[in-house]
Copies of this chain bind each other. A is one copy, B any other.
């Protein structure tokens, strides 16, 4: 998605070889026009999958997910992150390890909002090692619903998440795919790179 890649080049800050900060339009400040475009693109990509629900995770997944939900005409559920869970009645729970924050979180969705006939699109802001996506997949499976696809805003293709999810048979659509963040520069995966240079 050209608009997104340009935004990443213009405003993204490479903090290290592994960390890209996009606080100016996605993770802290939000650009609603870009989010609408991103939502439309997800809707276009997954329009033939018979999606009935979108599942995302708080907080940065919510904006792209609600715009996709609006276009696909489906509701959006955001999984809640918690340090620990005591009360798990009627909750579908998974555990997610964050490499960036080096901490483990429980994520949870109320079981009443997903059922066996749901065809779910998972949306998230970043895909790196795939921990969050795998946690969301686990939650959807526990509900008996099916995962029809995974929509990612920014994929760090040099980390293992995308490959693993594809190996598991999931359709993963990432709107920007980053090959490397070395030398303080964002390098996109080759098939997208020439569009950025143009």
Could you list which residues of chain A lie within 8 angstroms of chain B, going by C-beta atoms? 23-25, 28-33, 35-36, 58-59, 62-63, 65-67, 69-70, 74-78, 80, 83, 109-110, 113
Contacts and interface: CB of A to CB of B under 8 A. Distances in A.
Contact of A30 (B23, B75, B80): B75
Given A30-B62, A32-B75, A58-B58, 10 more contacts: A24-B113, A28-B77, A28-B110, A29-B76, A29-B110, A30-B69, A30-B76, A32-B67, A33-B70, A66-B66
A83 B63 CA distance: 24
Contacts of A25: 75
Contacts of A76: 29-30, 32
Residue of A32, A36, A62, A113 with highest tally of chain B CB at under 10 A: A32
29 contacts: A24-B113, A25-B75, A28-B77, A28-B80, A28-B110, A28-B113, A29-B76, A29-B110, A29-B113, A30-B65, A30-B69, A30-B75, A30-B77, A30-B78, A32-B67, A32-B74, A32-B75, A32-B76, A35-B70, A36-B70, A58-B58, A59-B62, A59-B78, A62-B62, A62-B63, A63-B63, A63-B66, A66-B66, A66-B67
A76 B63 CA distance: 10
**Copies per assembly:** 2
A120 B110 CA distance: 34
Contacts of A23: 110, 113
A39 to B, nearest CB: 9
B77 A32 contact: no
A78 B33 contact: no
List 9 tightest A-B contacts by C-beta distance, closest first. Answer: A32-B70, A58-B59, A32-B69, A30-B76, A59-B59, A29-B113, A62-B62, A29-B77, A32-B66
A10 to B, nearest CB: 15
Contacts of A58: 58-59
A25 B75 CA distance: 8
